[in-house]
């Protein structure tokens, strides 16, 4: 069998170029990371050839000698990692995991409640364009205008008024700790299922630097590829009493055959997250985020909520005279990868919002510490200044110089897996 380089040089070249890009840029997208070589290896295994509809011991196909023990291993490790009674490792990604939970716990048309997208919530928590906002009656809570924090009084009032069957707690762009116990109290009062979506923070929860939602929730969903540093995929944890319903909702409710190669890679990632070094990594992610926040504040940037408790920073660029999208594009040309992001009560449109979102998982995976955050803030500041001074554009010469400095700075930090 010829190698990819021989059989398909066009694809091979593009993959090599992407490796280089990931190696040579300061990656600050809050939902991304570097998976280990072991995780990548498992993802690229022959398990991609295998069908396995059903669950270990109850399959619709033959040849499960190694797939069953593998899925059991992934399940056991997930349960151990998060202290959960039940785990389903089959969701293809975070969005299908969330849809499966809704299918399991809420009748079609039932009322659900989640944090709104502009306040930092995810599409799948009932936003109007998502299937979760189309097939369910969705009401959305926000953050307080005064301090941009979740307002538990609003959550309680809305829950009393709308009597949701399910309440989501979780976010894609909220820089503060979530009070799962307070949400559980509200959910219990109105008889709703509480479901946490810890897609962004599951690495921090696994590493013990963010409180765990598991004791407070009917179910907990997560992606496996963000702070958790695994393959692209999803995971549902739940109480035993919901295990059957959730398994049935994932398959046959929503999905067909599980992606066994990804299941193998999830098992590898869960094992990595069970090691003591992972705790050190998770703590470092948060320390780095706080340090980068301080370094940005000292350069005149404004942070939503003034700082962070987790892996991410939300920066309001209004005072810098540039939009989030234009800044993100300019910084990308300079070798700094992050995304434009709406800020709470944003006066601009979501496609060209006022803010940028910054996450520290990737740089921490490369071995950076607080002592390197000032340099990172310097690169961001220089790019934003240059772009703001030239109507959003950076010259090719500036971009090239920045990219060369970035590559030089990154040379001391090998990128895992690449």
Q: Which residues are catalytic?
A: 51, 53, 197, 223, 226, 232
216 lies in the binding site for ligand PLP (CB under 6 A) = no
H or E stretch covering 193: strand 193-197
Tokens of 352: 């060209």
**Residue of the chain from 36, 88, 130, 172 that contacts ligand PLP (CB under 6 A):** 172
**Contact status: 308 vs ligand PLP (CB under 6 A):** no
Nearer to ligand PLP, 223 or 402 (CB): 223
Q: Is residue 193 marked as binding?
A: no
Query: Cβ of residue 209: shortest distance to ligand PLP, in angstroms?
Result: 18
Percent helix, strand and coil across the chain, each to the nearest 5 = 50, 15, 35
Does 372 appear as a known binding residue? no
164 binds ligand PLP (CB under 6 A): no
* 170 near ligand PLP (CB under 6 A): yes
Angle at the Cα of 169 from the Cα atoms of 225 and 306, rounded to 5 degrees: 85
Are the C-beta atoms of 104 and 221 separated by less than 8 Å? no
User: Which residue, among 299, 274, 263, 293, has the nearest Cα to 370 in the 3D structure?
Assistant: 293
- Residue number of the CB closest to ligand PLP reads 94
Q: Is residue 320 near ligand PLP by the rule CB under 6 A?
A: no
Name the β-bridge partners of 166.
112, 193
43 is an interface residue for ligand PLP by CB under 6 A: no
- Give the Cα separation of 375 and 409 in Å (integer): 9
C-alpha span between 272 and 96 (Å, rounded): 24
Using CB under 6 A as the binding rule, whether residue 223 contacts ligand PLP is answered as yes
**Residue 193: φ, ψ to 5°:** -75, 135
The pair of structure tokens assigned to 103 is: 């299918």
Single out the segment in contact with ligand PLP by CB under 6 A; choices: 5-13, 92-100, 317-325, 385-393. 92-100
Write the burial class of residue 371 (CB in 10 Å: 0-12 exposed, 13-18 middle, 19+ buried). Answer: exposed
Pairing of strands 111-115, 26-27: unpaired
Tokens 């997560």 appear where?
222
Residue selected from 25, 26, 27, 31 as contacting ligand PLP according to rule CB under 6 A: 31
| Residue 94 sits in the site that holds ligand PLP (CB under 6 A) | yes
- The annotation status of 234 as a binding-site residue, yes or no, is no
Which of 27, 77, 86, 122: binder of ligand PLP (CB under 6 A)? 122
Contact with ligand PLP (CB under 6 A): which of 25, 88, 111, 124?
124
Q: Which of 151, 197, 247, 386 binds ligand PLP (CB under 6 A)?
A: 197
| Residue 117 counted as an annotated binding residue | yes
- The residues, ordered by sequence, that sit 6+ positions from 5 with a Cβ below 8 Å of its Cβ are 12
CB of 414 to ligand PLP, least distance (A): 26
CA gap 370, 128 in Å, rounded = 40
| Nearer of residues 232 and 401 to ligand PLP, judged by Cβ | 232
Candidate segments 165-173, 177-185, 240-248, 315-323, binder of ligand PLP by CB under 6 A = 165-173
CA distance 42 to 33: 17
**C-beta of 312: minimal distance to ligand PLP in Å?**
10
**Which residue among 81, 199, 285, 358 contacts ligand PLP (CB under 6 A)?**
199
Q: Does 93 bind ligand PLP (CB under 6 A)?
A: yes
Neighbours of 208 (CB within 10 A): 12
Alpha helices in 25-65 (DSSP H): 37-43
Task: Tell me which stretch binds ligand PLP (CB under 6 A): 17-25, 181-189, 195-203, 313-321.
Answer: 195-203
Q: Measured between alpha carbons, how far is 145 from 126 in angstroms, rounded to an integer?
A: 21
**406-412-416-418 Cα dihedral, nearest 10 degrees:** 70
* Count of residues that interact with ligand PLP, criterion CB under 6 A: 14
Least Å distance, CB 205 to ligand PLP, is 13
Closer by beta carbon to ligand PLP, 121 or else 335: 121
Exposure string over 310-334, b if 16+ CB within 10 A, otherwise e = bbbbbbbbbebebbbbbbbbbbbbb
Closest distance to ligand PLP from the beta carbon of 32 (Å): 10
In terms of CB distance, is 93 or 405 closer to ligand PLP? Answer: 93
Interface with ligand PLP includes 71 (CB under 6 A)?
Answer: no
200 binds ligand PLP (CB under 6 A): yes
Please say whether the beta carbons of 174 and 196 come within 8 A.
Answer: no
Task: Detail the residues annotated as belonging to a binding site.
Answer: 117, 121-123
Residue numbers at the binding site for ligand PLP (CB under 6 A): 31, 93-95, 98, 122, 124, 170-172, 197, 199-200, 223
Task: Detail the residues annotated as belonging to a binding site for (6S)-5,6,7,8-tetrahydrofolate.
Answer: 117, 121-123
């Amino acid at each position: 069998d010829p190698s990819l380089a021989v059989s398909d040089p066009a694809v091979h070249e593009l993959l090599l170029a992407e490796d280089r890009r990931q190696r040579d840029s300061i990656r600050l997208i809050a939902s991304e990371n570097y998976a280990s070589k072991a995780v990548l290896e498992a993802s690229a295994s022959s398990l991609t050839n295998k069908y396995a509809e059903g669950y270990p011991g109850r399959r619709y196909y033959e040849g499960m000698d190694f797939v069953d023990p593998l899925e059991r291993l992934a399940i056991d490790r997930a349960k151990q990692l998060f202290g959960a009674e039940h785990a389903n490792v089959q969701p293809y990604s975070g969005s299908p995991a969330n849809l499966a939970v809704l299918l399991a716990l809420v009748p079609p048309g039932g009322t659900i409640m989640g944090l709104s997208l502009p306040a930092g919530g995810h599409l799948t928590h009932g936003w109007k364009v998502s299937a979760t906002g189309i097939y369910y009656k969705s009401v959305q809570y926000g953050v307080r205008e005064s301090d941009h924090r979740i307002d538990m009084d609003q959550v309680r009032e809305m829950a009393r008024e709308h009597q949701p069957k399910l309440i989501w707690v979780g976010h894609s762009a909220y820089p503060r700790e979530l009070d799962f116990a307070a949400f559980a109290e509200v959910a219990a009062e109105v008889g709703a299922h509480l479901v946490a979506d810890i897609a962004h923070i599951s690495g921090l929860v696994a590493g013990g630097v963010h409180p765990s939602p598991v004791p407070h929730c009917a179910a907990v969903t997560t992606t496996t590829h963000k702070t958790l540093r695994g393959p692209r995929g999803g995971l549902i944890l739940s109480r035993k009493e919901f295990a059957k319903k959730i398994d049935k909702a994932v398959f046959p409710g929503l999905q067909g055959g599980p992606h066994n190669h990804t299941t193998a890679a999830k098992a590898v990632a869960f094992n990595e997250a069970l090691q003591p070094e992972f705790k050190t990594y998770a703590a470092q992610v948060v320390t780095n985020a706080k340090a980068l926040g301080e370094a940005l504040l000292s350069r005149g940037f404004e942070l939503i909520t003034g700082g962070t408790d987790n892996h991410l920073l939300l920066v309001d660029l209004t005072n810098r005279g540039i939009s989030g999208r234009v800044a993100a594009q300019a910084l990308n040309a300079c070798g700094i990868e992050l995304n434009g992001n709406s800020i709470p009560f944003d006066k601009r449109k979501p496609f060209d919002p006022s803010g940028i979102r910054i996450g520290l998982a990737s740089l921490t995976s490369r071995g950076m510490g607080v002592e390197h955050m000032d340099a990172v803030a310097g690169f961001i500041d220089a790019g934003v200044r240059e772009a703001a001074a030239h109507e959003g554009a950076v010259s090719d010469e500036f971009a090239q110089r920045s990219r060369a400095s970035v590559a030089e700075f990154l040379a001391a930090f090998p990128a895992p897996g690449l």
